[in-house]
Chains A and B, each alone.
Chain A
Amino acid sequence: MKELLTGNEAIARGAYEFGVRVAAAYPGTPSTEILENLVSYPGVYAQWSPNEKVALEVGAGAAIGGARTLVTMKHVGVNVAADPLFTLSYTGVNAGLVLVSADDPGMHSSQNEQDNRNYARFAKIPVLEPSNSQEAKDMVGLGLEISEQFDTPVMLRTTTRVNHSQSFVEIGERSGDDVKPYVKDPRKYVMVPAHARGRHVVVEERRAKLAEYAESCPASRIEWGDRKIGIIASGIIYEYIKEVVPGASVLKLGMTFPLPEKLIREFAAQVDELYVIEELEPFLEDQVRLMGIEVRGKQLFSRIGEVNQRMIAEKILSVTGHRDLVNESILAAGVPEEKEIQVPVRPPVMCPGCPHRGVFYTLSQLKMTVTGDIGCYTLGALPPLEAMDTCICMGASVGAALGMEKAHPEMHGKVVAVIGDSTFMHSGITGLLDVAYNKGATTTVILDNSTTAMTGHQDHPATGRTLSKEVTNQVDLVGLVKALGINRVQVVDAFDLENLKKILSEEAAADEPSVIIVRRPCALLVKEKTVPYTIDENCINCKKCMKLGCPALSARGDAVVVNTALCTGCGLCSQLCPSGALKKEGAGNE
């Protein structure tokens, strides 16, 4: 039976079919849906961990314990998990472990576009790259086999286009889910120097064996076509090539580290023009060049952003002597782009009723320097709020505020860190510990909307529910913050602008560190029907309410209009209205 599945659904299906018993992750686009799907399969234990490092450590324990394991994260999550990854490469596994690294070329929803294939080479572990959903499923199985056969963690590296595209997948049965016995072996699993020196030798031997295996790896193959053009490719690029240069010879690499040197030499020797087409870094190209093989790659294709079909056609046509092999119809001009009138952009916005809006409005009014963090609230950096100065990585807001204060003591009272509840659980706690320990006086605002909103509402340790929606131990944010050594802790309502301003001013001015927990659930989670606001003839068109950047308010000519279908009745606008023109629908004039 065949089903149309996204790459993420296919990876979850693969984990189920190939006997995965334990899975752990922290949500991150484009990887999130893997565990959300996997949790519903029987016989698989799946969990959200507080961050990717813990997720991989849970995975390491499970695999060393003898259960087949899947750990998933977005590309930048691997930075967080890099510490266990590099040493897990030394210890090896017992049962198979596959680490999914979901990369995001083009940064559809990320802060950078690092190429995580480099991690595989750096940590000396094999990496597989699927081109479609069927391969995504199959490569979970292949990855687990390689992991067990060579005693190594295996990376399954996807890109957004594979994670979020649907294609047909053959559905199979579950097998291979027996848990192996755990056998104590400190020389293998306790990485003190004396043991690790021995394990490094094993790792290098393993690398050589994997390179040999790569020559016959079932995921890599030569598809001979016309030998005038030969293209080496992996992942989604393979699918593009089959449309743009359908007649060319292709070396499709399913495993991209280590590389099959003999296969590459055999291919290169038999084609006239050799290309390597890959997104981001010249990962394959550099290795091919090290073999002494001349190849066209990044001299044609940028390291920046995604590659697409048009680009491949244009770039090959710009140098090839065999134009007839390129499907030029892909370059056929369509309807011309609209250039005469300016098409307004449609950036993402905070939703109507979003509890973050009032906080950023207040921070902007107070002219604070705001070190920000990763989540929906990063939208606070955009107009009209524009109340964010930095956003680097998960948890960076708190440390960055401390650093800013240490560099500029005179900025005391003007530097505020802003971080969401899930991000605080992920990696804000240690930053705050640093603030308390090193006697900073910054204020940290925790935006507690009771969920991981940006990635589509996942639970975390402070929501009191698990991935499977079971009730669990809930972190007491106030108690936690106090335990770290912060004595000034306030809890305020996200919709009370006056109080927000008062508390923010007071806490920022204090001579010791403080935390303000701003509470209100994400507007998308509020199920109760609320009464929208309307605007009456008292409106003096001062447009103060427009400074909130609420999509339910628009400026039309001489008046502001409320879109009552969008308005959630949060009331922020009425708190700013100097003429009392904004009222709850149905409330009469006084």
Chain B
Amino acid sequence: MSNGKVTNILIVGVGGQGTILASRILSYLALEDGHDVKVSEIHGMAQRGGSVVTQVRMGEKVYSPLISEGQADVILAFERLEALRWIHFLKKEGTIIINDQAIDPVPVIMGVQEYPDGIVERIKEKVPDTIAVNAMQIATDCGNAKASNVVLMGVLARKMGFDKEKCIRALEAKVPAKFLELNKNAFEKGWSVDL
């Protein structure tokens, strides 16, 4: 994280994917490093399988809790289509981490619209620093598909240059004890993904 600057992280996904944990861990890390942090998430209708967005901003002094279009340093997308939907929030030289998973929205389920093909390739054309990960597969290998969010967190933490030990402490603080081993393992697998 550069000094005096605010780092903007946009986390996008589908209601129920566990995007909130990622923002909790990020804010814990920011706090540990003595940074100011603001987090914004919209509740309500979004909980019912809609598109969800969490915004995390950290730095020496943060005023607005919201990230403007074209201002995100990193987008962490829990789903391919959501990555495409929010791509214009990314800075030109920004990084996008995409969970290579598709969750059909209603128009696709109903057969009135097609789920677009080749999303990751399209994004790679626009954004050189695109990292696509099959987090669901990695999490399933660790023993529980639901730990996908922590796999992605591992990828993000290494990419952003966070201290690994601090990340583990964040997990210990934010994850229920009975899932801790699973999540540590999932984080480790995410951390070792090729960037």
Contacts and interface: CB of A to CB of B under 8 A. Distances in A.
Contacts of B64: 236, 239-240, 242-243, 309
Given A344-B105, A549-B106, A554-B108, A335 B51 contact: no
B116 interface: yes
Contacts of A518: none
A348 B50 contact: yes
A209 B84 CA distance: 55
Contacts of B36: 168
A332 B70 contact: yes
A404 interface: no
B127 A335 contact: yes
Interface string A315-337: 00000000000000011111111
B38 A346 contact: no
Contact of A351 (B31, B38, B49, B85): B49
B interface SS class: mixed
Contact of A338 (B37, B65, B87, B94): B87
B4 interface: no
A338 B40 contact: no
A168 B68 CA distance: 21
Interface in B109-147: 109-111, 113-116, 122, 126-127
A569 interface: no
Contacts of B110: 383-384, 546, 549, 555
B19 interface: no
A254 to B, nearest CB: 16
B47 A456 contact: yes
Nearest to A339: B88
Given A239-B64, A344-B81, A336 B31 contact: no
A553 B44 contact: no
Interface stretch (A158-166, A417-425, A427-435): A158-166
Given A165-B38, A309-B64, A334-B91, A347 B31 contact: no
A310 B64 CA distance: 12
Interface string A162-175: 00111110000000
Contacts of A164: 40-43
Nearest to A378: B45
Contacts of A341: 116, 122
Contact of B66 (A132, A161, A166, A242): A161
Contacts of B109: 546, 549, 551, 553-555
B27 A344 contact: no
Contacts of A454: 44-45
B176 interface: no
Contacts of A30: 43-44
Interface in B59-91: 62-66, 68-72, 81-82, 84-85, 87-91
Interface string A505-533: 00000000000000000000000000000
Contacts of B169: none
A108 B40 CA distance: 13
Contact of A161 (B62, B65, B104): B65
B48 A376 contact: yes
A333 B70 contact: yes
B39 interface: yes
Contact of B71 (A29, A166, A334, A379): A334
B46 interface: yes
A290 interface: no
Nearest to B44: A109
Contacts of B87: 335, 337-338
Contacts of B66: 161, 240, 308-309
Nearest to A329: B71
A589 interface: no
B161 interface: no
A336 B89 CA distance: 9
Residue from the set B45, B50, B85 with the largest chain A CB neighbour count within 10 Å? B45
Interface string A346-390: 111111000000000000000000000000100100111000000
Nearest to B114: A344
A343 interface: yes
Nearest to B145: A565
A345 interface: yes
Interface in A138-191: 160-161, 164-168
A538 interface: no
B81 A243 contact: no
A309 B109 CA distance: 36
Contacts of A384: 110
A299 interface: no
A342 B113 contact: yes
Contacts of B50: 346-349
B33 to A, nearest CB: 13
A239 B63 contact: yes
B88 A335 contact: yes
Given A239-B64, A338-B122, A551-B109, A343 B42 contact: no
A165 B40 contact: yes
Contacts of B40: 161, 164-166
B15 interface: yes
Contacts of A540: none
B11 interface: no
A376 B42 CA distance: 17
Contact of B88 (A330, A337, A554): A337
A4 interface: yes
Nearest to A334: B70
A349 B48 contact: yes
Interface of A: 4, 29-30, 108-109, 132, 160-161, 164-168, 236, 239-240, 242-243, 308-310, 330-338, 341-351, 376, 379, 382-384, 454-456, 543, 546, 549, 551, 553-555
8 contacts: A29-B43, A132-B65, A165-B65, A166-B65, A243-B64, A309-B64, A309-B68, A332-B70
Given A334-B90, A348-B47, A349-B106, 15 more contacts: A108-B42, A166-B27, A167-B38, A242-B63, A332-B71, A333-B92, A334-B94, A335-B87, A335-B88, A348-B50, A349-B49, A546-B110, A551-B109, A554-B111, A555-B111
Nearest 9 pairs between A and B by C-beta? A334-B70, A109-B44, A165-B65, A348-B48, A337-B88, A346-B105, A555-B111, A348-B50, A29-B44
